[in-house]
Structures are given as C-alpha cells and as structure tokens.
A = this chain, B = another copy of it.
Amino acid sequence: MSTKEGPQTSRRGPYAKSAERRRAILTAAHAVFAAHGYRGSSLQDVANLAGMSQTSLLHYFPSKSDLLLAVLNWRDSITGDGTAPPDPEESLSDAVLRQARFNEDVPGVLELYTVLCGEAVTEGHPGRDYFTQRFERLRRSYARQLAQLAGEGRLRPGVDPDTAAASLIALWDGIQTQWLLAPGSVDMAGCLRAYLDLVLVPEENPERASAGALPLAPLG
C-alpha cells in the first residue's frame, strides 16, 4: 500500500501528541455541544475548554460541521451505535435496561443525543443524515431481534416487530427528553421495562409445557 517509493510525495505523519490533542478537542466539543447544541456553540468555546486557540482547533478539524460529525462518530466508536450487542447471551430486555441505567450516570451523553437530534431535524443541519441513518439502522436491528423473539413465541400475539421496534426507540428517546427536563419525575428504566413487559411474553416456567423457551433472566 503506502510504501515510500513516491519520489515527491514525501508526506510525513503527524506528531506523537496529535492523537491526544484530537481527543482533547473531541472531549471538549462533546461537552460544549451537549450543553448548548450545535448552533448555540462556538468554536471559541470548544477551543477554550480544550486549552488551545481556535486556529489550532481548525488545524485538526477544518470546519465546525466536520467537528460535529467527528464527535458523533467518535461517540459511536466508543459506546457502540446500539446495533451490536456486546454479549450475544444477553437478552434484548437486559441490554436495553442496562444501557438505559448506564446512561443515567454518564452526564452529557443523553444531552448530546437529545439536543442534537432535535436540532438535526432543521433545514441544512450537518447532523441530519447521521440521525436519519442511525434511526434506520436501529429500527432494522431491533425489528430483527424482535422478529426472532416472535419466532420463539416470546412476542405477545398481535405485536408487529417493525412497529414495536420503532416504538421502543421512540419511547426511549422521548423518555430521555422528559428525564432531562425533570429527572426526579420520570423513571427511564421503569418506563422501558414496563413497555418491554407489555410487548414480550414472560419466560415460560418449566412446569408450563409449551414451545421450548430459551433460558432468560427474569423480567420481573
């Protein structure tokens, strides 16, 4: 691939500290965007928090929209994009509830997604494609998982996997907004658990004979 045989293309690599510098910028931008949104934030704010000049920041991310997309993709690369379950043995319910409870304790993540997702619906927002594709991906992923559960008889009769997938994502996002505005008045994990209890059939006890159910952690 990239040998040095190029006679004139003598491009050197970045400095040793460059990666760390980029991470400092992304961390700062994450916090600033989460607190004020994309349009409410300035590159100067991010640069100040990152401890460098605005010009230096622009050396690493050539424009504000580039910085936004970098933050979004960076976040996904760390926490995952919600598509791939880290543990294939973990049930859908457990994965959702674990993630929901985890998010409560990591300030900024929920703010970033909620604030930017709302902003992204506006005309010409640089994050619009990101969120559109993210929702599409999530809907497909959950629909697939729910369809598999339906095949195992674990989905309540009459529940459509596609509808339930979109509804689960919508419920999750919506309850996050309410929680951010009034953390004491809303129980995020409780709402999600209540919905999953409605949609999923509880695991069959061994005494009740029916289609073979896979062992799963109790929901109640």
Chain A residues with CB under 8 Å of chain B are 35-37, 39-40, 111, 114-123, 128, 131-132, 135-136, 139, 156-160, 163-164, 166-167, 169-175, 177-178, 180-182, 185-187, 190-191, 194-195, 197-199, 201-202, 214-217, 219-220
Contact = CB atoms under 8 A, between A and B. Distances in A.
A190 B177 CA distance: 22
A118 B114 contact: yes
A195 to B, nearest CB: 6
A123 B32 CA distance: 10
A181 B118 contact: no
Contact of A39 (B40, B132, B164, B172): B40
Closest 6 CB pairs of A and B: A118-B118, A170-B174, A158-B214, A174-B174, A173-B174, A170-B175
A115 B111 contact: no
13 contacts: A40-B122, A115-B118, A116-B118, A118-B119, A132-B181, A135-B181, A139-B178, A166-B187, A169-B178, A170-B173, A170-B174, A171-B174, A202-B220
